[in-house]
Amino acid sequence: MQKRVVITGMGVVSPLGCDLETLWSRLLSATSGVVPLDRFDAAEYSTRIAAQVRDFDLNSFIPPKEQRRMDRYCWYALAAARMAVRDAGIDLSRYAPARSGAAISSGVGGLETLSEQARVIAEKGPRRVSPFTVPAMIVNMGAGLVAIEHNLQGPNYAVVTACASALHSIGLAARSIRDGECDVMVAGGAEACITPLGVASFASMRALSSRNDDPAHASRPFDKERDGFIMGEGAGIVVLEALDQAVARGARIYGEVAGFGMTADAFHMTAPRDDGDGAKRAMQQAMAEARLNPSDVDYINAHGTSTPLNDKIETLAIKGALGPEHAKRVMISSSKSMTGHMLGAAGGIETIVCALAMHRGVVPPTANYTTPDPDCDLDYVPNTAREATVRACLNNSLGFGGHNGCLALKRVP
């Protein structure tokens, strides 16, 4: 018999704050986390703004000696995972280590470490390259370090599917519990690619907004004046366990991970299919697994990157998945209008946003929505949060390479 899987703990490191309450209050007030870049000199860059993590007390999570052995993305993963476990109120030592696991993704892993050590070998030679280079930069190390800290000896992996990475990890982790393989999973994603190479690479693709003189309003999903996404960073991690186990220990339940869909566009390296079929099928799969009709879905946390093509095609996909009439009634918002695009961590933090919307009865807005676009003609909850009972919601993540993912979440009374 398959088990129902629920979220009992959540942890965040984000441009809007490094705890749930700060993140949530700033989302509801449509506060932007986008600021002028100050991590490096960006004077020669076409994009000089980003959604950087601030007010992060690293020393409270990782001793200075250990910090030097890790990439920034691993700092974020360890901190968010520890917060999620604490929020869940779960004593992991009481569960069989072999039935406890970690699925924590990153889109690019330790880009900061890779860039720095490439500079070292060029300037100082191969003998000066750090012995921690490979362990710090590989994409699976976030999951590995979380498993070490919490003695999670079961499944341990990092799905790498670009911007769909964290969502895919959460979906697959939920299946491990549903199918009886595990009792508890710590799942999500972490990213830290606001580096000279990271920003320059995305800027050269013309994927980033160049609204440098107005950072707070640069990310504007579904708005006619959108001109590209804003790079973000951080981590979003959840604790998953079976519903019966959570009830037995008296856990607070944020919501149920009831369905998961994953598809491929098989179309283009960076562009979505013109008809949105891949994203549509991912949503349909998630709803089918969750036994939801389209009319049951009250809210969608969209991928909503603020790029001209993505937002248009995702709108089309939503209409295809829900039907044109219900698509007009469902509430849709993009957290990226405030957090920026956290790449491989986006699906983690946006799953948390969905869970909070269900648990607290408030849908966060899409910030900076001022000019309607005829190609984006749905209800994007513009600029102002909305009180609403959310019985079920979808969370979309769509990645370069044509990787599509969707989670269907249900409210647990």
Interhelix angle 111-124/196-204, nearest 10 degrees: 110
3-state secondary structure 165-206: HHHHHHHHHHHHHHCCCCCEEEEEEEECCCCHHHHHHHHHCC
Provide mean pLDDT across the span 126-148: 97
CA end-to-end distance (rounded Å), the chain: 22
Residue 399: CB atoms within 10 A of its CB come to 25
Domain 260-410 has CATH 3.40.1280.10: no
CA distance 14 to 351: 14
What is residue 175's predicted lDDT score, i.e. its pLDDT? Answer: 98
**Catalytically active residues, by annotation:** 163, 303, 341
3-state secondary structure of 265: coil
Same CATH fold, 260-410 and 5-248?
yes
> Domain limits of the chain?
5-248, 260-410
* Residue 196: pLDDT over 90: yes
How confident is the model over 351-405, as pLDDT tens digits?
Answer: 999 999 999 999 999 999 999 999 999 999 999 999 999 999 999 999 999 999 9
* Amino acid symbol at 410: K
* Residue 114: pLDDT over 90: yes
What is residue 1's predicted lDDT score, i.e. its pLDDT? Answer: 79
* Beta-bridge partners for 409: 257, 393
CA distance 175 to 179: 6
Task: Retrieve residue 19's tokens.
Answer: 């705890």
Confidence band of 413 (pLDDT split at 50, 70, 90): confident
Provide mean pLDDT across the span 108-137: 96
Provide mean pLDDT across the span 47-71: 95
What is residue 220's predicted lDDT score, i.e. its pLDDT? Answer: 98
* Alpha carbon separation from 402 to 22, 96, 263, 277 (Å, rounded): 33, 37, 8, 11
CA distance 100 to 114: 31
Confidence band of 108 (pLDDT split at 50, 70, 90): very high
Provide mean pLDDT across the span 310-331: 97
Which CATH superfamily does the domain covering 5-248 fall into? Thiolase/Chalcone synthase (3.40.47.10)
What is residue 140's predicted lDDT score, i.e. its pLDDT? Answer: 98
CA distance 78 to 68: 14
Q: Please check whether residue 373 is in contact with residue 241, taking contact to mean a CB–CB distance below 8 angstroms.
A: no
On average, the pLDDT of the chain sits at 97
What is residue 267's predicted lDDT score, i.e. its pLDDT? Answer: 94
How confident is the model over 203-261, as pLDDT tens digits?
Answer: 999 999 999 999 999 999 999 999 999 999 999 999 999 999 999 999 999 999 999 99
* Closest to 171 (Cα-Cα) out of 60, 285, 78: 285
How confident is the model over 143-167, as pLDDT tens digits?
Answer: 999 999 999 999 999 999 999 999 9
